[in-house]
Chains A and B, each alone.
Chain A
Amino acid sequence: MPLGLGCTARPGKSREYKTGSWRVFRPEFIAEKCTKCGMCKIICPEGCIGENEEGLPVPDYDYCKGCGLCAEECPSEAIEMKKEEK
């Protein structure tokens, strides 16, 4: 890779760093309890929660740091933090 002239970089590169490796607790999404309100998607500091075809939230564990904010704020308690097993 040639040096980015003037300390520059093109977008997309941050995804090469997988922050999921930081995780100690893992959010488990419980589909039955989810009301698809979208709160978890809005507040995730990593922006790494998407949704599947049914509109249910799907976290990208490559980037999820396991901060637990989604579980804390989920209005229907549909996310549980479980100790990461590595």
Chain B
Amino acid sequence: MLEIMEGSHAVAQSVGLCRPEVIAAYPITPQTHIVEALAEMVADCTIDAEYITVESEFSALSACLGASAAGSRVYSATTSQGLALMFEVCFNCAGMRLPVVMSIVNRALGAPLSIWNDHQDSISLRDSGWMQLYAEDNQEAIDLHYIAYRAAEDHRVLLPSFVCFDGFILSHTYEPVDMLSQEQVDSYLPPFKPYHRLDAADPISFGLFASPDYYMEFRYAIDQAMNQARNVLPEAGRVFSEMFGRDYSGMVEEYRLDDADCAIVAMGSICGTAKDAIDEMRDAGKKVGLLKIRAFRPFPVKEVQKALAGVSTVAVLDKNISLGSKGAVALEIRDALYGSQIPVLDYIIALGGRDVRKKDIAAVVDGAEAGKGDIYYGLREEVLK
């Protein structure tokens, strides 16, 4: 049954259905509505969880780490500066192979201070060992939480996961969503079975330090787990689509890409705008399609290669910038297409919440077809003078 809900409240409800046992979070715009809603559910006993009102994001994720090691399913949510403050703990969760799931309500990083959307926060944690899933709309944002828990806790994976969705654009927008029932979620997501846990009856030491004799092997093992996730994530998506009808079996999603000359590559809510723009361009006779990246980590190299094999130009919309280099998504796409001769043009776009309209997508496609790329799209030259 479809209900019209704010994105944050829909996510909070879906997280509640995942039966987290310990929630630790610290308020930060635009994540607050999620954690407020969860706090209400705990206060009303509609979910049975311990909610730790920590004094910082750093402690939020640290508490999740401890609770996960003790054997509980855990949840946190943050964004931007909060995620930056968690930096150290993020690497720790992955290294200790604790399947924490955390919502990232994507927001720009300061300075200058900005509360508006781009992907710099989660992209900056690219190398931390967390899976990263990006949602296009609120329905996908809530469904990806079920999938993230299932894949993260799978003993073939045992890695933490971000579920990323765009701040304000999705989090504060009311959209119709289909909320699963508790029975449905229970049938999809089994109770958390820790691989091992802190337990006086069976003591084990967690988080030892590794000499050069062992460190590389531990890092390799995390990377191997990411490789496993390349299978487990689509499998979790496939089971979900079999049970509930919505298809998340791909780590990428193609839109009108079959006969496209120009492919747009993007992540997150901008994909919705791109799809509308593509429909208009198609109506005007332009062969344009979209490749939506749903999983940025692990990066779906083979799927990207397959999807883009027939196109003549690729235009990547990067809501982030690896300063001194390119946008992070473009770098991945170039790497995936290495040797193919397909030009990959990068467009740094919509940083700090600048709006992107259909005409902007069309302008990007025009530019790409003319071979003009690797630019910041829509720079206000007049304020730079």
Contacts and interface: CB of A to CB of B under 8 A. Distances in A.
Chains A and B touch (C-beta atoms under 8 A apart): yes
B158 A8 contact: no
Interface of A is mostly: loop
Contacts of B207: 6-8
B218 A3 contact: yes
A32 B208 CA distance: 44
Interface residues of B, number: 19
B210 interface: yes
A7 to B, nearest CB: 5
Contacts of B217: 3
A7 B204 contact: no
Interface string B301-314: 00000000000000
Nearest to B203: A11
Interface residues of A, number: 9
A9 B204 contact: yes
A5 B217 CA distance: 11
B221 interface: yes
Nearest to B205: A9
A5 B95 CA distance: 9
Nearest to B225: A5
Contacts of A11: 203-205
Interface in B105-119: none
Contact of A7 (B158, B203, B206): B206
A34 to B, nearest CB: 34
Interface string B111-143: 000000000000000000000000000000000
Nearest to B220: A3
B196 interface: yes
B210 A10 contact: no
A8 B203 contact: no
Interface in A1-34: 3-11
A10 B199 CA distance: 12
B221 A3 contact: yes
Contacts of A6: 95-98, 158, 195-196, 206-207
Given A3-B214, A10-B205, 9 more contacts: A3-B217, A4-B208, A5-B221, A6-B158, A7-B95, A7-B218, A8-B206, A8-B208, A11-B205
9 contacts: A5-B158, A5-B221, A6-B158, A6-B195, A6-B207, A7-B207, A7-B218, A8-B205, A11-B203
9 closest pairs, A vs B, by CB?
A6-B97, A6-B96, A9-B205, A7-B208, A7-B207, A8-B206, A11-B203, A8-B204, A5-B97
